[in-house]
Chains A and B, each alone.
Chain A
């Protein structure tokens, strides 16, 4: 059975698109046929992060309006032939998407793909609503600061009451916490919330912690999802996240600060 994953947050700029690109690539590299959809109509940038911006012919809105078929619009990734990208439109406004059209496209994708990753726009308005409405799983991307946590909480309420699963009284969406841009040094200085603080407020299953890392910016500048940079800490964090999501048992990393982390590493060996 295909599964629809929404990558959502409420607050903007927390790392949804970075995460969508990374986990879609991670799932595809594990051999699962995966599609990643940019729901951020008007501001598309998933194609930039995926490095396929120069191959966009048709987009999500064209497919919804019947101006192109899904096959015409899907772009096959240059690094992994199990991965396809459905870009957003840059020229339409947000109202170009509608629930029925989105539902039809997802149904069609479900016949052919194992995972469908939906990169949500920020906010809790229509675009974010459509991105989460049909989801089976939600990756809630949160930064370790109060306003991001509050917005995630808000989004969790919406997932629990306004999604298709909620409306049809089905089993609720499975919710996972991805704590991103985490910096143990700054937690220690009291400038950021700790993993425990965030967990206590949200009481949500932690899928992984992604450290604040310069490698993320480098990766997006070169149009390569960060997970392909296997040497980078953030890339490894996303690889762990994909593995955990697929049921592998991986201990959490990147929670302690560097000294503590290495200390622990040497201590345990």
Chain B
């Protein structure tokens, strides 16, 4: 007695359009040297491979075009896809680049309608939803999290990251700036993921699986017993991670 939609007089609606805002990382290109682009991309991805795997991405060509360089969008897309990224849009391109993008079924966005960035400026309180923040240089915001970050969850902040609850083993927290955890840190914490060597990690109970600042990391095994389960700050000095009590 399965229902056949062609026979029933009343057909329930099968779809609905809704408007939603998503945060998607934007890749701002500053060089037309695809080899260099690929190399540097690999370096960045190496810092947080899980985070970038199959990540959607908007390509921003504004800087390149300002400098009068040109780039082959098809080749660029190829490089990105080979690196495991999924370009879902392009902005700041010229007519020819936009056409090339559309041929590749990549939508073209205007630089002005990068919606809602004014609203997202304000400080956010979110439950852990592992969505990347918009990576506009003028929109460096602090992300505040009040719920535990559980095993399997990931949080990324394009600015500082403040967490008022525990971070479980098997969770991963990442920030381009500093990380503060006002509870037990058991998962993986990566600060300065875009290379900021000044970034620091603070936590009130260090039991992390991994800590990293700008790619310099220590795993749980390497943690000294004198700092384990202590409130500490972690920073970089001459490419070495320093872990110090905060009293």
Contacts and interface: CB of A to CB of B under 8 A. Distances in A.
Interface of A: 65-67, 124, 150, 153-154, 156-158, 160-161, 166, 172, 201, 203
A203 B166 contact: yes
B151 A154 contact: yes
Interface in B120-162: 127-129, 147-153
B79 to A, nearest CB: 32
A66 B1 contact: yes
A166 B3 contact: no
A166 B150 contact: no
A66 B2 contact: yes
A201 B148 CA distance: 11
B150 A156 contact: yes
Contacts of A157: 128, 149-153, 168, 171
Contacts, number: 49
Contact of A172 (B1, B127, B153, B168): B127
Contacts of A158: 150, 152
Interface size class of B (residues with CB under 8 A): 20 to 34
Contacts of A124: 152
B106 interface: no
B60 to A, nearest CB: 29
Contacts of B151: 150, 153-154, 157
Interface of B: 1-3, 127-129, 147-153, 165-166, 168-171, 186
Nearest to A204: B148
Contacts of B129: 161
B49 to A, nearest CB: 20
Contact of B3 (A66, A172, A201, A203): A66
A52 B178 CA distance: 58
A160 B168 CA distance: 14
Contacts of B128: 157, 160-161
Contact of A161 (B3, B153, B170, B186): B153
B185 to A, nearest CB: 13
Contacts of B1: 66-67
B2 A154 contact: no
Contacts of B170: 150, 153-154
Given A153-B150, A157-B153, A161-B128, 8 more contacts: A150-B169, A153-B169, A156-B148, A157-B128, A160-B148, A201-B186, A203-B148, A203-B166
B150 to A, nearest CB: 3
13 contacts: A66-B2, A124-B152, A150-B151, A150-B170, A153-B151, A154-B152, A157-B128, A157-B171, A161-B127, A161-B153, A172-B127, A201-B168, A201-B169
Contacts of B186: 201
B240 to A, nearest CB: 31
A166 B153 CA distance: 14
A65 B1 CA distance: 8
B20 to A, nearest CB: 11
A161 B127 CA distance: 7
A32 to B, nearest CB: 30
